[in-house]
Chains A and B, each alone.
Chain A
């Protein structure tokens, strides 16, 4: 713990988990700006297909010559929006960012188990982010085969412009991201298992830590198959192998020499990662919500043990349901039956988690501070998004809904919305810890209203665009007569989406202003019980002057007969009774 570190060692090439966490968060927020801009362009096209935007034409002469978007540019926008948001925003900020910052503090550790690996993980992740951004500027433009990158579209360079160099860079960025994410996950698992403060038994850990721990294990199990698949796809693209390319492909009038591969194999490998990945993202958001509710309800979380078990069950089930993304792919209909039934089992633990969130509000004394507003928003989005899952996990219903806007609406509520609100709840809640200053509550509340309602509206409406049969990844809905009536809905969705984006300016303003001139925060501004509030804000390198000893669980609020309505985890049992 040298205090004479140079600026570069301290803030740039730092091995301190807090600095790395903040690096992840800032990088991820910058990537969100890119991903959000792409979403804006997508909504511009879907709201007013084919309209001319001369100014944008000047800015993007290739993608929008004379101001009208080309279909290939639209496909690149869709692909890159998904990729950037899932891997370089959500995974960066919510999983690696808060995972790094919060987990060691909440378990009373001085740092991650492998600080150097942690630094390496961030820099490799950043490299991945740079590669994915650069891919916009190569010949043919960025990858355009969707974030799922199904071959042959992603394997044959002549399939579409984005399938040229852009797709190769996409795969390289993916490989870098996975390497980085694996290191970061490994670190979280090792840290939780080996560096907990004295007295911090597993069943005394806050649910936030549990959710990061479980999500890291899932990541470690699920990512290797995609790594292998990405490398195989690179070989198919550049070294004439045929892992994913069958015999007899004729692209643009030319018979390809490949033999014996299977495009379906990629789908299995991709979704074996892809499905757990959505839980890797959503579990931390749920963990954060489950921990936020008690702080602002001044009572213990409802059903702590059950929540822990449910997080574990969800993790196990998520590894065996990937085929529900492939009901109409042509795989065996018997598999479809199995994947339907196993998928529906997930409703049991997920419902219990939802019930526990509502139960945490029962008989509570609620304070609607900004993090709490976002936590309540999570309950709402999780409810609607979860019920949408009942439609898509059901093979029979999915025959109509697969690859329509119903899917787009559903996953945006879940891995877009629950995670986004979780991210914001986390930022508002831990900002005082990170920077020693409070964010503005007034601006925070305005931001909540400008985020939650527009977000809900946009993606709720998309479910019904899907029920009308509108396929996703369509450049325009102008060709089909039966989709004429979706046009007005798309205009509304676009307008509300722009409101949503404008609302994020309030957040940016609040973030920057509070960083510079926010009110100095007291040590424990939310009167919370967990360990991160037992040290100064921001904490010193090494986190704690003295490693704390833990005497109780993390939810000791409103203990009967006590003057204060919260009892930190470090308070011994002889001073305040331990209630669980």
Chain B
């Protein structure tokens, strides 16, 4: 059996599945149940500074978009950090950590961008026995207007400064949680590293308006006729998150910085994808909020089965394995040529490939009077759109031409050697091939 045990930024957990800082980790009751259900660790919902806690709205806090059969694809929330007193959270964190010493207990923090505020809260957290802290520089609503959350995460200098304070005033590993509401995710990651961060985690939620009530002309969730932008998460954000993770993982400046992957992770496969893109572990929230804590069982069994089947013995053995294969467009091999092939036995003659290709692409599919669809090799550019729109898995596939084969579209033979845009004759700034 594959070993799912994880050591992330020096923090051990029996598996790489942590619950992200969010409502599921807001209190002792939930976290105990999560650990009983088998989660490897939790990031406790963000604590604020001492004193009267923040207040939340008392209307709807969530909005969503759904796919077919009302499958939840994207979730949007306007909830703030914990609205329970600091001392209550600290007491509970200590009690839970004491009873579950093998699980990772990370405490998410968000206090004003002042050295004294951070200096004040860190000893309290350290006293709980927590394994580490996560700096919430990502929350895009409510707290940002008060100069916290993503307001800090959008300014690399602030990230560096606060991270440095945390390293200075605490012995705990520091994970910096990044906001995706920024142009270039590499900059805040670099700042975190300069500040001494032990790891980064991403993504936090994305600024969003998830739907609009067309009767009341108000964004949803609507409270007393008004709505505000919220933080978007769930399966819909996974591609955005994975790109940001990969950008940090392949940036030479931050390549050795551990990454905790967050963003729509729902199945073992999602987790595996984040891990091979450079994550040391993953954090989950929306899947648990949609299906309950038990969802982790499938993630563990699936990851374990995949690793066993492929002979991967540990998380470390697969972490980052896809990073060398993430490159810039200009380095993609222009000499690899494929053609779409339609499996006539599998085809159900819906014609979607034809509509897509004929109307919006390269007019490379032919339709006969009796609804037989065939690819015109002399038109096909192998764009893959027909594969994407085909409702039957593996009905349309891409067949790669061998070197020396004739590409009927260009009338040229397929070259055997690698050739990219940087050396292409059409590129005005082409350099000689290396």
Q: Do A and B come from one complex?
A: no
What residues make up the interface of A, taking CB atoms closer than 8 Å to B? Answer: none
What residues make up the interface of B, taking CB atoms closer than 8 Å to A? Answer: none
